[in-house]
Structure 1
Amino acid sequence: MAEWVSRNMRPFNIVNDKGFKNVLTTFMDIIVKRNCAIDINALLPTDRTLSNYVNSISDELVKEFGPKIIGFIGKYGGSMAVDFGKRLRDYLSICVYFIDDDWLVY
């Protein structure tokens, strides 16, 4: 879920959306053929939990790749594109491009 939210720029509070829950409930009804009752709210994380998880993952990625990126950009150069918006949902997207010692582009 966190990967889907991050990659597709969905808001964390999508897990609170009634339509989203209705779609999931419909799929669950089809899958379990109504043999057991499952409350969709018990399965979905809260928006705060999802936000914390994405922040935790991004912290791990920064620790893992940050020094490499800084080193390669300092050595060979690179580029970065920042995109943000506040129209309907706040979001921030950062794309970093660089090459390594083997001239592979990331």
Structure 2
Amino acid sequence: MNRSFTGVAFAGPTQDIAGFVATHLIAEADLAIDIHSGGKISDFLDTAYFCWSNDPAQNAQTRELVSIMGLPYTMVVPASDTNGDFDSAAHASGCAMISCELGGGAKV
């Protein structure tokens, strides 16, 4: 669903769910967390992703959230130029957002 936040109504079930999430959930939230893992076939380092925004106050809040999350690695990624991704939807709503990769290899 990550790249389904395009804002296009009635574009299919995935984009409709993303629209509901953006309009009714993210818009009311203080924090959004995008959690990924490697599933069965990949094994990722436990890493927080600091999704940079154009808002310095939002970046300061995200920096604090990444620190609180306490994962051994942090990767700072630039503001996305991908239309319709989750972090762009969160940033547009003024919602703090972090993403992470947590393990994989069919283990927790």
TM-score w.r.t. length of structure 1:
0.30
Higher relative contact order (CA 8 A, sep 6+): 2
Which protein is richer in strand relative to its size?
A: 2
Instruction: Decide which structure has the larger Cα Rg and report it.
Output: 1
